[in-house]
Every structure is written in C-alpha cells, then in structure tokens.
Structure 1
Amino acid sequence: MTDTREIFATTPEGDTVEIVTLRGGPATARVMTWGATLQDFRLGGIEHSLVLGSPVFEPYRAGMKNYGAIVGRAANRIAGGRAPLNGQTVQLETNEAGRTAIHGGSDGCGYVNWALAGHSDTTATFTLTLADGQAGYPGNLTLTATYSLDDEGALTLEITGETDAPTFCNIAHHSYWNLDGTPTLDGHTLHVDADSYLAIDADKIPLNGPEPVAGTRFDFRKPRTITTPEDTPKLDHNFCLRLPGTPMHPACTLRAGGLQLEIDTTEPGLQVYDGSGLNSQAPGHGGAPYGPHAGVAIEPQKWPDAPNHPDYPQITLSPGETYRQVSRFHVTRI
C-alpha cells in the first residue's frame, strides 16, 4: 500500500485536517477528515472534478460549509427545533434563521474534524463522537463513516452510529454534483425513482404526508431538466423513494456531458436541492467561484422533520441499536 494520506490544513483551533486519496477502477476520490468530506471526485480522462469543492481548506469553514460533507446528527430540518423523544419534548439549536434545526446544529458532524481510523489505497474510515447535549441532542453518538472505491470506480459510503441514550440519528452525504464542468446545471437531466414527494412550507418543513409527483414540477419519473424558470418552485424537497423490498434500491440517475451518475441506497428518502442559493465566494476546483445552480445536492436520508410526523420513517436511535446507511455513487460514460 502506498501512503495515500497527507496533511491538508491546520485549523485555527489547532486540529490537523488530513486528506486520503482513494483509487479504484477509473475513479479517484479525495476524502478529508473535516466533515468526513468528499473533497474531490474524478473519472480518468475527465479534466474537471464531478463534485463541487475547493483545492484549499478555508472555504469549507464558510461559503462551502456543506460541500461534500457528511451532515447530522439529524440531517435536513426539524420544525422549530422541537421534537418529541421518549415522552418529552427536546429543544434543539435553531441554527437556520432562528426558526429550524438543520443538519445537526452549528457544530454538527459536517462542521467538525473527524478522526482518520484507517485507510488503504481504496478505503478510508473516519470516526467521530458527538457529545451528549451537542446542539440540544441527548446522548453521546459515535459515528463511523467508510468510503470505498471498487474496481468499477463506484464510490460506496457506509455510515454507522451507536448511542448511550435515546437520540435522533439521520445522517446524509451532502455533495454537490456537476457532471459536465459548466457553470450551471442547464445541461443536466435527473431521474428519481419516486412516485411521491413531500410538499413544504416557507421554512421548508413538510406540510403533511406524501403527495403524488404526477402533474407537478417534482415529477422526475422520466428524465427531465433540473433548473426551471424563476416563476416555478425551487427544488429543495424530499422524494419518497420506491422501496422494492431489498436493502439497496435505486434512488436516481443524473446525466450530463456524456456521463451518468447512478445512486443506490438503503434509505427511504432522497433530498434533492437544485443549488439555486449557491454562492461560494471563494474559488472552486475550476478556479472560479460557484454561483446559483452550479451543482445539485442529492442526499439519501430519512424524511425531514420525522419526529413530528409519526407516520414517517422514524429517526430515533436507542442504546443497543446500530444506525446503518449505505449509499453507492457510480459514474460511467454513456
């Protein structure tokens, strides 16, 4: 095994941020300890990175906070930061406009330095413990995330979690994908393996149960463009995936520039965000800042605000249980 580990940066707090370079088949992935982040992903013969990111560390603390990170302990949003847990109401940090809890709080797992527990030419494993009381969440939650590249160049991410007290656990990988290397998603089409989605209110909180995608802007049962005219609803919604009864099932297919990304997952939901609010300010991999619609976030996870909707797939994790999520990201030429 070659030494694929390098020091990427040192934080102002003195933490050493490391990067591991993985190689498998035609693909190369660079993953870093900060946020257990996919910092770069490339296919042989393609000059640009297929995920948005920065060649330097500082932007990951500011305008690129979620780019490629693993977010949680409760990814997505919880209304008012309030949720029932074991007969009590838990008040969480409302770190989105003071109105909702999002991505586990301002010190959630996407915004801290994980430990590199092991690595090889094709795999890297990161670990992190979120302390009891972090952002209002009870329980010490220990997370393990393993990235691996196989001979086909597919990137598999397995995330597990264990707690010493009942808590919430819903983890999501938050890369922004852009397959053709152009400034926007205009040349991309998306297919989502879902017949229903969750309509949302002004705070992006689900209004009720799943609604049919048929006849809406959210119908991606056949491939269609992601970006739409400004007078149509922006896309930052959870899709309720078809569950065929097998642990791993198709989630979506993204196509552009002669490439396609296929995502399979164990998760019942897929949050898709069209990147309409992106403004990285700092230069990205291509040397220019990222603007609106520069990439699409495609995030396998359980449904948002689940604790406040008893009929949703739930995100409570208790002592003795193991949280587990597996997602596979496979880019090929078409």
Structure 2
Amino acid sequence: MRKVSRLLGAVAFLAAVQLANGAAIAGEASRAPAGKLADGTAIEAITLKNSHGVSATILTYGATLQTMVAPDRAGKPTDILLGYDKLDGYVEQPNYFGVTVGRYANRISGGRFTLDGKAYQLPLNDKVNSLHGGEKGFDKVAWSVRSLKSGPSASVVLSYKSADGEQGYPGALDVTVTYALDEQGALTISFDATTDKPTVVNMTNHALFNLAGGGTAENHVLTIPAKAYTPVNDKLIPTGELRAVEGTVFDFRAPHALVPGIRDGRDEQIRFGHGYDHNYALDKGATAKPELAARLEDPASGRVLEVLTTEPGVQFYTGNFLDGTYVGKGGALYRMGDGIALEPQKFPDAPNQPKFLSARVDPGKPYHHVMVYKVSVAK
C-alpha cells in the first residue's frame, strides 16, 4: 500500500509539474510566409495564440494587426477585425486596416509644423493635410522581426529604421513595435522610438473592430471615460478647444449604442466627420501605465473589447469613408459603420497646437506608448 501511495503521489507530482509547465508555455508564437512585395521583399505573418481561443496575426508589412480572433459567450471563435485575407489587399487597397501608423498618427494641418524655429513640410495625402505619417508612412513599409517568443505571454518585436527626412520629418528614427498576447486575452502593443535630432512622434494602431464578426457595428455599446473632446473644423483639424460632451451625441461616459448619434446631421461635428471621427480628451490624461480609454460591447455575441493606453487621447472613428468599394475578408463589402476604430494617441495636430500635450521627441529622451486591446465575454 505504501508503494502504491508513493506511486500515486509521484504521478500527482509529475502531473502538477506538467500542468505548471504547460501553463508557463501556454502562449504560442509562430511565423509563416505571407507573400512578397513588388520589389521581392518577403513578408511574414506572425501568429500569437493563448490557451483560451484568443489569437492575433501580425503582418510584417505595416506591422499590421491582420486578425484578432476571440470567442463569443457560446465559445465560438470569430475574427473581429476588418481587413483583407491576403497581403495584396493591404498593398493595393490600403485603408489603414489594423496598421501601425506613424510617424504621426492622425492629421497635421497643412502638413506643416515648426520645430526650434525651422519649418517642415510633409506630404499632403489628406487633401490639405498630412494624415498618418504621409504618403508612405509606417503602414506602407516592411518591418523586420527582431524577436519571437512563446511563453506565458507570446510576443513578437518588429523594428524599422526611418531615415532623416523621410516623409519630411526630421531625425533618423529607430522604431520598434512589440505585440504581446497573454492568457487573460490582453494584446499589449508597445511603441518605442529613439531619434538623433528633435522630431515629433505619435504612433498608434488603426484596427477597425466588429465584435459581431460581420455586418454592421452600429449597435455596439460604447463607453469612453472623457468629459471633453476636441472639436474640428471642416478640414477635420482641431480648433484647439476642449468641448464638453455633456448634452451632445459625443457623450459616452455612460454606455450606449452608436445609433442614432452616428447619423445625427443636426450636429455640425457629425456633418464635418461624416459620422464620428473625433479625438476624446481622456479624463485620466497621460499616465505611466495603461488605463482605460474605451470599452466596446456587442450585446448579441457578448464579446467585450477594452482599450487601455498611456496616452491622453483616443480617436473614435466609425469607418465613415467605407463606401462599399473595399472588398474585405471573405468577400465582404465594407460600408460606413461596419467597423469601429479606437486609436489611443496624442491629440491631432499637436505640433501646431501649443495648448495640447507636446509630441516632441529629443535625442536621449525616447518615445514610449503602451496600449492594450483586451477581449473578454460579458457576464
């Protein structure tokens, strides 16, 4: 009996060790070919998985979050991102689906800013403004895989060297983007950059979410903990004002659906943006660690997305320029309201807005932004 008891004890011990080891390496990171660019550059797809059915696939082209799969309340996994099935779509019909945007996310008025008395001109790729880093921003270049790790948090580190003067921006910039998926369903994205001369940097991810996995997202329920937003002019450039959300269609301090506000033409700001395309001044401001910027829920599937950030703002965009000409995953024609972007950031046009938190980055003072997409199921 003692031998049996000792044997059972040993089996239990080994099982415990295996369970512990299994938990320790539950996150899996893998890589696979994803195609080639016209110049022959090979692009890879990096897939991060946890043991609860959550996964994320990242393309080295544009450091792009191509897919994010999450289970619903019945346990059924679904890709909750708009985008394309293959690399060609991101190259031939770019619409910022899931890409890393930079050097400067969002708009810079007239594509101009001044730094230490010197004026800089950027490409005007948004009519009269520069948008998301210019004609060939970080979303349209090939990134290198610096490291790939499996473990409690599966991760990949991507790097890119942006030359001095690229797209009109001063300073040679060494940039890394780290994607890390943990067992709690949190995909953490860390942006880091160093420069050899003063410049401006504002990076984020431009994923458009549909927590239902298809159809309209207009019935999703949104919460944004912000009592003010930055209204824009008819060129979608902030006026410099911080306007109270109270009593307007921009008030998401309490959770409610996007409709009917998304189409409320009585509000001039909705007319300017063709829907929601506005930056919120988060109550938390800039923080050392990521804090809540937005919470999105699909009542039908039960899926919940929480967005956290260290930055002071979040751009809320409802895919207003999707007009049925973009053929996305599975042959779906994307239209306004089919996807929702919640882009943590510094405020738009901050280099020209002295009242906004500065986007300046200097040698010896690196840029650092941490944001999180955390998926779960409503109880």
TM range (shorter): over 0.9
Between the aligned partners of 1:162 and 1:280, the Cα distance in structure 2 is: 40
2:373 to 322, 329, 332: 329
The equivalent residue for 1:103 is 132
Structure 1 position 22 matched with structure 2 position 61:
no
Between the aligned partners of 1:207 and 1:260, the Cα distance in structure 2 is: 33
| Residues 51-95 of structure 1: CA deviation (Å, up to 9, x unaligned) | 111111111023343000010101100100111111222111111
The equivalent residue for 2:334 is 290
Q: CA deviation at 1:217?
A: 1.4
Matched ranges for 1:38-49 at <5 A: 38-44=65-71, 45-49=75-79
Between the aligned partners of 2:283 and 2:348, the Cα distance in structure 1 is: 17
The equivalent residue for 1:4 is 30
1:118 to 147, 169, 175: 147
Give the SS at the match of 2:159. Answer: strand
Matched ranges for 1:145-184 at <5 A: 145-184=177-216
The equivalent residue for 2:296 is 254
**TM-score, length-normalised on structure 1?**
0.95
Between the aligned partners of 2:288 and 2:351, the Cα distance in structure 1 is: 25
| Runs of 5+ unmatched residues, structure 1 | none
1:184 and 1:295 in contact (8 A); partners too: yes
1:52 and 1:177 in contact (8 A); partners too: yes
Q: CA deviation at 1:47?
A: 4.2
Give the SS at the match of 1:179. Answer: coil
The equivalent residue for 2:109 is 79
Between the aligned partners of 2:44 and 2:276, the Cα distance in structure 1 is: 34
2:289 and 2:370 in contact (8 A); partners too: no
2:198 and 2:363 in contact (8 A); partners too: yes
1:57 to 84, 87, 94: 87
Between the aligned partners of 1:202 and 1:315, the Cα distance in structure 2 is: 24
Task: Name the amino acid aligned to 2:145.
Answer: L
Pairwise CA RMSD: 1.6
The equivalent residue for 2:61 is 34
The equivalent residue for 1:308 is 352
Q: CA deviation at 1:46?
A: 3.1
CA distance 1:13–1:280, shift in 2 (3 Å): farther
Between the aligned partners of 1:181 and 1:92, the Cα distance in structure 2 is: 37
| Residues 88-110 of structure 1: CA deviation (Å, up to 9, x unaligned) | 2211111111x101111111101
**TM-score, length-normalised on structure 2?**
0.84
| Identity across the alignment (%) | 36
Matched ranges for 1:175-214 at <5 A: 175-214=207-246
Q: Which has the higher helix share?
A: 2
| Residues 190-215 of structure 1: CA deviation (Å, up to 9, x unaligned) | 10011100000111100122111111
| Residues 98-150 of structure 1: CA deviation (Å, up to 9, x unaligned) | x1011111111011111111112311110001111111111111110000011
Deviates more, 1:188-197 or 1:42-51: 42-51
The equivalent residue for 1:274 is 318
The equivalent residue for 1:137 is 169
Larger radius of gyration: 2
Deviates more, 1:219-228 or 1:267-276: 219-228
CA distance 1:118–1:112, shift in 2 (3 Å): same
| Residues 227-282 of structure 1: CA deviation (Å, up to 9, x unaligned) | 43352511100000112765321101001021110111101000010112114645
Give the SS at the match of 2:327. Answer: coil
